[in-house]
Structure 1
Amino acid sequence: MKLKLLLIAPFALSISLALAITNIENKPESEASMAVTDPAEVIAKYIKAIGGKENVDKIKNAITVTEAEVQGNKISIRGISDSENGRLLQESSMNGSVLQKVVMANGKAKGSFMGQEEELPDEVAGLLKVQTYVFPEQQYEKLGYTLKADGTETIEGEEAYKLVITSPDGRMTTTEYYSVSSGLKLRTSSDVTGDISYSDYTEIDGVKIPMTLKTKNAMLPEAMITKVVSVKLNQQLSDEDFR
C-alpha cells in the first residue's frame, strides 16, 4: 500500500515529506533583494522577530492542536515536535476517528492511513527529522540542507525575502518567504503542499507562533484555513506519546 500522507503542522511545517520547487513568477529585484545575499541573515532576522535566539533555544518541545474545515467536514490535527529527543507525532482525525498518523522515534518513522500501518522508508524518515524541531529554521544547515537567497517577491501584500531550500540529497526543494519589514515567515511553498501562508502571530511563553494557516493547492477546491486552537510548550513527554 502506498501511504498517502497529508501533514499539516501548525507552525513547524517548513519542509514537508516531499519537498519540491514551486514555479513562481520572478519579480524585479528591489534594493532589499540586492542587499541580502546570505540566507543566514534572513533566518537570524526571523529568529529575532519571533522572540530571539535565547527564547527560541529554551523551547524543547511543543504539543499543538489545530482545526480545519474541508468541504464541510471538520478535521482536527494534533502534533508533537520533540526537539530534544528527535521525536515527532502528527495525527489527523475527523468525527473522533483517526484518519492518518505519522510517528517518528529512535530514527525510524511509521505511518498509518485508516488503520493500516506501515514503516516509512529511511529517506522519508530523514526528511521528517527536520520536523522534530519546534523551530527548525536554524537547524537547516546543521541537517545538511542547502539554502539560497533568491531576491524578493510580494507575498500577502508584503515584500518578502525568498529562500530556496534544498534537501541533503539534492532532489527535493521548497521555498520560504520572510517579510522584509518584520522578519516573520509569511509563506512556505512546494509542489506537494502547495502554498501555506502564516498569519496572526501570537506570543506564547516568549515566542511568537502563527495561529492561522491558509493552504492552497491543486487538491483543494478552495483555500483551507487552519486555526491553532492550543499550544503547549516544554511539556513532560513519554514514549507513550509516540506510539
Structure 2
Amino acid sequence: VNQYFGKWERGNVPTFTYPMPERAAKQAVALVDRSSSVQSVINLTQPVAMKIGDPDYISSRVLNQILGGGSASRLFMNLREDKGYTYGAYSSIGADKLVATISASASVRTEVTDSAVYEFIHEIRTLVDEGVTEDELQKAKAELAGSFGRSLESPSTVANFALNIERYNLPKDYYATYLQKLNALTVEDINATAKRLIDPDKFIITTVGNGSEIKEKLAQFGEVIEYDNMGQPAKQLVADADMTAEKVLDTYLNAIGGKEKVAQIKTAKISMDANVMGTALNISFVYDSENNRYAQKQSVGGNVLIKTKIENGKGSMTMQGQNQEMQPAQYEEAVLNSFLFPEAVYAKMGYSLTFDGLKDVDGTPAYKVIISTPAGAKLTNYYAQDSGLKIKYENPASGDTFYSDYQEKEGVLLPMAWTIKSPMIPVPLEAKVTSMELNGPVTEADLD
C-alpha cells in the first residue's frame, strides 16, 4: 500500500451528519397491496444503533442465532416446523457505522398472514420477557464458533477483518480473541442484551400481499398504512357509491366497440414478439369461442418451450416436449384465460364478480374487479376510470400483464402492446402484436 499509494497527498474528505432514525411511537403495519400474490412477504423491523465492536455486538450475534439465525432457531421451529406456515422464518440484527436494523421475516400463505405475524410478535416478546436457556446459549455458541472458524478459510474474510479493525478503531486482537469473548457470554448477558436492544411494541410490520384478503386481519396489530411498490404512500381513491362490477364490465365492452361487435368475433389468431435479455421470444394465441378451443405457445428460435391447449372439455400443458393433462383446478384456471373477450362470458360461465374499489395503476385511476370461478380459481382485472379500457390483469400463477396501445380491428379495440411481469422471468417482458387474424378458420394444426 505504501509503495503504490504512499506519495498521494491527503485531501479534504467531506463529512456528513445524519439524523438517527427513531423507532415508531407504536406498532404499525405498512401494507403493499399485490392482488395477484398467493403469499404474503412479512418483515418486522426497527432501527438499532449497533456497530462492530460495540459492547452488545457479539452478544447480539448469539441473541439473533437463538431467535432466527438458522433452522434450529425459535422462529424457524415455530413458523415452519410447528405451524407449517412457511418454508423458513429468520431474523437478523445488523451492524453498521451509521444505523442498523433488527428484523424478522418470512413468506407465508395468504390465509395465515395474520397468524404468522402473531407468532413473530409472540416469539420476540417471549425472548425479551423470559430470556434464553442455557441449552440454547451453548448451541448458539457452537454454531457461531463453527461459522467463524470456517470463515477464516477465505482470504477475503481475513482482509475484511483487517479493514474492520481500522474502520471501527477496534483493538488489534479483536478477532484473535473473538472466540474467547464469545465463549465467555452467559445467559444473563444475552438476556440483558435482548432487553437493551429490542422493543417488542415498536416494530413496523411491512407486509406485501393480497390487500383485500389481509388488510382487515392485520389491523389488530396496529394502524394499517398502505404504500405503493416504490415505498410512497398509496393514493386513496374513492369510487362512485353506485359503481358495481357489472357496470365496470358493461362500460368496458361498450368502450371497445359494443357487445354486438364483440359477439361477431368468433375466432382469433394473434402472434406477439418480445425480447428477454437479448433472446427473441414469440408468444402466440389461438381463440375459437364457438368450439371452446384455445391454445397458447411460447417459442424461442422456432422451438416451442411451453404450450397450453384446451379442447373437448380437457386441458393439457406441454413443457420442453413433456405433455401433461391438466388437473381440475388447473383446467378451471386455464379456462379463465381462454376467451379473447372474457368479460362477455363471465355471467354465462357462472363466474362471480367482486368490485374492489378504485385503485391507482401506475398513475391511472382504475376500477378493480375480482373474478372467481365456482371451483375457487381467481383473477383480477383493472379498468381505467376515464376510458373504461382494461389496463391490467393479475393472475397468481402467471403474474401481472399491462395492456396499452389499443387499436381498432374489425370494429373492436384490442391492445397491441403488453407488458408482462412474471415470477418466471427476471425482467418485465415488453411484447408487441406483430400479426392478428380475426374470424379466420382455426385448424388442428393451429392448435398444435
Q: Same fold (TM over 0.5)?
A: yes
Q: Deviations over 1:79-117 (max 9, x none)?
A: 101011000111111011111111111111122111111
| 1:132 partnered with 2:319 | no
Task: Return the structure number with greater strand share.
Answer: 1
CA contact (8 A) 2:272 2:283 kept: yes
Task: Return the structure number with greater helix share.
Answer: 2
Residue 239 (structure 1) aligns with:
444
Q: Distance in 1 between matches of 2:388 and 2:394?
A: 17
Q: Deviations over 1:45-98 (max 9, x none)?
A: 000010111100000010000111112111111110101100011111101111
Mapping for residues 2-21 of structure 1, pairs under 5 Å: none
TM-score, normalization: structure 1?
Answer: 0.84
Mapping for residues 1-243 of structure 1, pairs under 5 Å: 23=210, 25=226, 27-30=235-238, 32-36=239-243, 38-170=244-376, 172-243=377-448
Q: Distance in 1 between matches of 2:307 and 2:350?
A: 26
Q: Deviations over 1:148-201 (max 9, x none)?
A: 11110111321111112222122x322211011100001012332222110000
The code of the aligned residue for 1:28 comes to Q
**What is the aligned-residue RMSD (CA, Å)?**
2.1
Q: Per-residue deviation at 1:28?
A: 2.9
Q: Distance in 2 between matches of 1:112 and 1:169?
A: 23
Q: Distance in 1 between matches of 2:441 and 2:375?
A: 34
1:239–1:139 Cα change, 3 Å: same
CA contact (8 A) 2:259 2:344 kept: no
1:153–1:62 Cα change, 3 Å: same
Q: Distance in 2 between matches of 1:242 and 1:222?
A: 29
Secondary structure of 2:241's aligned partner: helix
Q: Distance in 2 between matches of 1:89 and 1:190?
A: 18
Q: Distance in 1 between matches of 2:393 and 2:350?
A: 19
Q: Distance in 2 between matches of 1:126 and 1:150?
A: 22
Q: Distance in 2 between matches of 1:132 and 1:220?
A: 22
Secondary structure of 1:126's aligned partner: helix
Secondary structure of 2:337's aligned partner: helix
CA contact (8 A) 1:86 1:129 kept: no
Between 1:85-94 and 1:183-192, the stretch displaced more is 183-192
Q: Distance in 2 between matches of 1:49 and 1:62?
A: 20
1:218–1:105 Cα change, 3 Å: closer
Give the structure, 1 or 2, with the largest relative contact order (CA under 8 Å, sep 6 or more): 1
Between 1:47-56 and 1:155-164, the stretch displaced more is 155-164
Q: Distance in 1 between matches of 2:384 and 2:337?
A: 22
Q: Per-residue deviation at 1:130?
A: 3.4
The code of the aligned residue for 1:82 comes to D
User: What 5-or-longer segments of structure 2 have no aligned partner?
Assistant: 1-35, 39-109, 111-208, 212-225, 227-233
The code of the aligned residue for 2:268 comes to A
User: What 5-or-longer segments of structure 1 have no aligned partner?
Assistant: 1-17
TM-score, normalization: structure 2?
Answer: 0.47
CA contact (8 A) 2:253 2:259 kept: yes
Secondary structure of 1:220's aligned partner: coil
CA contact (8 A) 1:27 1:152 kept: no
Percent of paired sites with the same residue: 36
CA contact (8 A) 2:416 2:432 kept: yes
1:233–1:241 Cα change, 3 Å: same
The code of the aligned residue for 2:262 comes to V
Q: Distance in 1 between matches of 2:303 and 2:424?
A: 22
CA contact (8 A) 1:19 1:173 kept: no
CA contact (8 A) 2:417 2:430 kept: yes
